[in-house]
Amino acid sequence: MMLKSVTESFAGMIHGLKVNHLTDGIIRRSKRMILDSLGVGFLGTGTEVFHKVTQYSKIYSSNTSSTVWGRPDFRLPPTYAAFVNGVAVHSMDFDDTWHPATHPSGAVLPVLTALSETLPQTPKFSGLDLLLAFNVGVEVQGRLMHFSKEAKDIPKRFHPPSVVGTLGSAAAASKFLGLSLTKCREALAIAVSHAGAPIANAATQTKPLHIGNAAKHGMEATFLAILGLQGNKQILDLGSGFGAFYANYSPEDLPSLDSHIWLLDQQDVAFKSFPAHLATHWVADAAAAVRKYLVTPERALFPADHIERILLRIPDVQYVNRPFPDSEHEARHSFQYVACATLLDGSITVPSFHIQQVNRPQVKELLKKVKLEHPPDNLPSFDTLYCEISITLKDGTTFTERSDTFYGHWRKPLSQEDLCKKFRANASKMLCRDTVENLITVVEKLEDLEDCSVLTRLLKGPSVQDEASKLSSMSSFDHTTLPRFTNI
């Protein structure tokens, strides 16, 4: 009798997991991930990279189409809707982060929202259908990363969402569409040949495409599997298969579904309070703490002219070591910039990465004073890293603070109130207040939703005609208070 392969055990998990496998904890945590991903996605639709990918995607058309979030008058074929919405989620590096390191939601959620309104289904896709498929997609990503020691650290070669995210997308789509075990296996095999993007494109406009492509390619792999395309039946077992992406790859069969424990039940995600690489959040936390010694009621401004040196003790993560960033994307991946901006301004916000802020003369001067050290105990892992910051004044006085865990990390989770506050701030850039509040309500009760079309209708946002009518009826208001709408 032939032993079951690792690949087949993954296909069996995708095919076999049912709604009754979902725990209360899994439902609660995944609903938080969904709400946060939608919010950062709406905010991301205002970015330059989102505009470029939507302009490109306009050349594609089909008989079926799906919503581009926040754009009621613009639809795309489902694979390209998933692509641009995935790009939006990661366009500002504001999306959730897991351990081992990846952004699990952005490659999965856009696939499910695109599919839920595209394909005829009787009965309709429910909120529980979406939650199950979402968690299957996340689970596959986590299981694959646990097969390699390399994957447990902040990446050095491949950007993880481009690798495991592509398979997570295929797994979620396969589950949502009810594929057979054999078709689930083929979708995974096809997805592996779509996977992978180098970490060298971090801190550029291309990095958000990694998640958009993962969403799109995973969906394409699923469609091709439905059509009968075949791949290697042991793709996840082989060093020359999925193992090509990770050193020390050692895959194992998955436990029986009877004893299935979700990884998300054991390991929560981190939610970001500002749009930048997760490792910079320890830097901001430590910098805000040490700033309190230097900015007092008697001295309201940070005394930049009195600073001799700023020393950051951080892990050695080369692609977040950017002494003099010259773009918003480099600033989001710069330990040095986040430290200096926090010291000058007291906190980091969305506008902190506007190029005018990055290029401020006082920032440039302060950046010259930053030095890095990499203590041997400070490993490049989101589960264990820390940041220690020491500021030495010209008179020799030194102040030191350390952050082991920032607010939003899984050890110090964002409250539901603050998560909703973040969502409101992000989504309100594209949606009216009523739609924002309705989305919060729908996601909070997603497991009770009988028809996912209720969710996808809200994702469209109000039409241009609706807004024009609303604005004309508000002529008594000061026009500077009205929301600004961008048309593609």
Q: Is residue 262 part of a domain?
A: yes
pLDDT (tens digit, 9 = 90+) per residue, 271-310?
999 999 999 999 999 999 999 999 988 788 889 999 999 9
Q: What is the mean pLDDT of the chain?
A: 92
Integer Cα distance of 244 and 50 in angstroms:
31
Residues 293 and 343 in one domain: yes
Between 104-108, 419-423, 458-462, the lowest mean confidence (pLDDT) is in: 458-462
Residues 344 and 204 in one domain: no
- pLDDT value at position 482? 26
Residues 262 and 292 in one domain: no
Domain boundary among 377, 403, 429: 403
Residues 249 and 301 in one domain: no
Residues 328 and 263 in one domain: no
Q: Mean pLDDT: which of 90-94, 114-118, 475-479 is highest?
A: 90-94
Contact yes or no for 181/15 (Cβ under 8 A):
yes
Q: Is residue 457 part of a domain?
A: no
Q: Is residue 148 part of a domain?
A: yes
- pLDDT value at position 476? 34
The answer, yes or no, to whether residue 473 has pLDDT greater than 60, is no
Four-CA torsion 33, 37, 40, 44, nearest 10 degrees = 160
Contact yes or no for 236/149 (Cβ under 8 A):
no
We report the CATH number of the domain holding residue 371 as: 3.30.1330.120
Residues 91 and 69 in one domain: yes
pTM for this entry:
0.93
Q: Is residue 426 part of a domain?
A: no
Supply the range of the domain harboring residue 376: 278-403
pLDDT (tens digit, 9 = 90+) per residue, 379-396?
999 999 999 999 999 999
The answer, yes or no, to whether residue 483 has pLDDT greater than 80, is no
Q: How confident is the model at residue 466 (pLDDT cuts 50, 70, 90)?
A: low
pLDDT (tens digit, 9 = 90+) per residue, 53-106?
999 999 998 888 999 999 998 999 999 999 999 999 999 999 999 999 999 999
Could you tell me what percent of the chain has a pLDDT over 70? 93
Residues 267 and 397 in one domain: no
Domain count, the chain: 2
pLDDT (tens digit, 9 = 90+) per residue, 44-63?
999 999 999 999 999 998 88
Q: At what angle do helices 416-427 and 24-44 cross, to 10 degrees?
A: 30
pLDDT (tens digit, 9 = 90+) per residue, 435-453?
999 999 999 999 999 999 9
The answer, yes or no, to whether residue 17 has pLDDT greater than 70, is yes
We report the CATH number of the domain holding residue 23 as: 1.10.4100.10
